[in-house]
Structure 1
């Protein structure tokens, strides 16, 4: 420890490989899907529904959140029913899928509002930390990655484990049939890949997410707070 003088000894732990052992949970992975559109005919919603079918095939339990009626961030109290529903679903989930249209070169306000209503922390609980995340987007024109790239940044900010693969569907109006099902294509194959990968990463990390996100800086802060409380009691 002498060569690490700037660290707090009691908060600096060695990596314990035994805490990254084989998963123990046997229940179906719990996946929440968010969609960034309110349109009556929404290709991002159709893509979300297609993803949900695939996730169920791969053994997941799914919930799709309907953003209709969700107020703008800070325009309603946190006990608003749609806000509470979203936060409870985030806590329920072990992984999430975020799907947004690209509008003006970015994700939609509908998508961003949903993410903004999910706080980094609720007391001692973090609604997103350690959960897996897959990101997808649809475009009306040529293929773009602006929305998925933005959602990746937000996923990192929300302390989520964003999987390597992603989906971007160009000219989405050509990729769905009259029944709302996605047509066979390389785009569809990529969606299959992404959902399969999400389930695998969720199974791999869900039982160890607490350990994976256990940070030296937070342990150091907790140790300092504990020391301060002890010293306050002794001073009484």
Structure 2
């Protein structure tokens, strides 16, 4: 190749779009919001971050519950308000309606929370049915309001054998589907039956250290995003729809 000859002679130059008036003729320009720093909150809430904790086992000595209890202690140390939902008595989805007391309790806590921690045992390579049932009882929309949208989420799992990440991987997908801000860190406690004292407190270990990491990170992300969650998860596609159209689309009774 001679000097000055192009290395990629068949690649066309990028088009000049600097003078474009619209991204597309299909765009509804009044709904195309350009994010700027002024869109973010300039003042911040001063109440304690409100964190809901869910666990996925009904055993008397439930290691996912013990992890959640340790997490609640850490949350309170880091200045948050923690509430643990007890899944005992929660019916299977579609066997009762939303007037059931445990369903109402769960949904009210979902609305109350600004962030959440989910911890499930890994069973048959996945999260437990109890964990999934709790999430399935929470619709994507309640009267046009999404109860989980924009809330922060931390995910953890416990295993009876070697360390695995199947349950947390599934919960990460669920968190995205529920339009939650799932934090990067996560925890997986292997051979959980070896990690707790008889009184239910967790022994010092790298597993415990990782739980501290996750809880601390969740509080940071919650403080950072809770006053901006509506802006952060706002969607152009929904701004061009009317509220009535959105409600019809996300509340399809036939599904």
Does the TM-score normalized on the shorter chain lie above 0.5?
yes
How many equivalent pairs are there?
225
Normalising by structure 1, report the TM-score: 0.93
Could you say which residue in structure 1 is the equivalent of 2:104?
A: 84
Could you say which residue in structure 2 is the equivalent of 1:167?
A: 187
Query: Retained in 2: the 8 A contact 1:35–1:45?
Result: yes
Q: Give the one of 77, 87, 112 matched to 1:67.
A: 87
Written as runs of structure 1 = structure 2, the 5 A alignment for 1:141-160 is 141-160=161-180
Written as runs of structure 1 = structure 2, the 5 A alignment for 1:220-235 is 220-222=240-242
Q: Give the one of 194, 200, 209 matched to 2:214.
A: 194
- How many angstroms does 1:22 deviate by? 4.8
Quickly say closer, same or farther: Cα 1:61–1:2, change in 2 above 3 A. Answer: closer
Could you say which residue in structure 2 is the equivalent of 1:11?
A: 31
Could you say which residue in structure 1 is the equivalent of 2:199?
A: 179
Query: Retained in 2: the 8 A contact 1:32–1:90?
Result: yes
Higher helix share: 1
- How many angstroms does 1:20 deviate by? 2.1
1:131 aligns with 2:131: no
Query: Aligned partners of 1:224 and 1:136: how far apart in 2?
Result: 37
Query: Aligned partners of 2:60 and 2:44: how far apart in 1?
Result: 42
Q: Give the one of 113, 130, 136 matched to 2:133.
A: 113
Query: Retained in 1: the 8 A contact 2:144–2:243?
Result: no
Q: CA RMSD in A?
A: 1.3
Structure 1: which 5+ runs fail to align?
226-236
Quickly say closer, same or farther: Cα 1:14–1:170, change in 2 above 3 A. Answer: same
Q: Which has the higher contact order (CA 8 A, sep 6+)?
A: 1
- Residues 94-122 of structure 1: CA distance to partner in whole angstroms, max 9, x if unpaired? 00000000000000000000000011000
Query: Retained in 1: the 8 A contact 2:41–2:227?
Result: no
Written as runs of structure 1 = structure 2, the 5 A alignment for 1:17-36 is 17-36=37-56
Could you say which residue in structure 1 is the equivalent of 2:120?
A: 100
- Residues 76-99 of structure 1: CA distance to partner in whole angstroms, max 9, x if unpaired? 011000000000000000000000
Query: Retained in 1: the 8 A contact 2:66–2:200?
Result: yes
Structure 2: which 5+ runs fail to align?
1-20, 246-255
Q: What is the DSSP-based 3-state SS (H/G/I as helix, E as strand, rest coil) of the residue aligned with 2:155?
A: strand
- Bigger mean CA offset, 3-12 vs 180-189: 3-12
Query: Aligned partners of 1:194 and 1:208: how far apart in 2?
Result: 21
- How many angstroms does 1:75 deviate by? 0.5
Could you say which residue in structure 2 is the equivalent of 1:232?
A: none
Query: Aligned partners of 2:47 and 2:243: how far apart in 1?
Result: 35
- How many angstroms does 1:21 deviate by? 4.0
Displaced runs of 4 or more, over 4 A: none
- Residues 126-158 of structure 1: CA distance to partner in whole angstroms, max 9, x if unpaired? 110000000000000000000000000000000
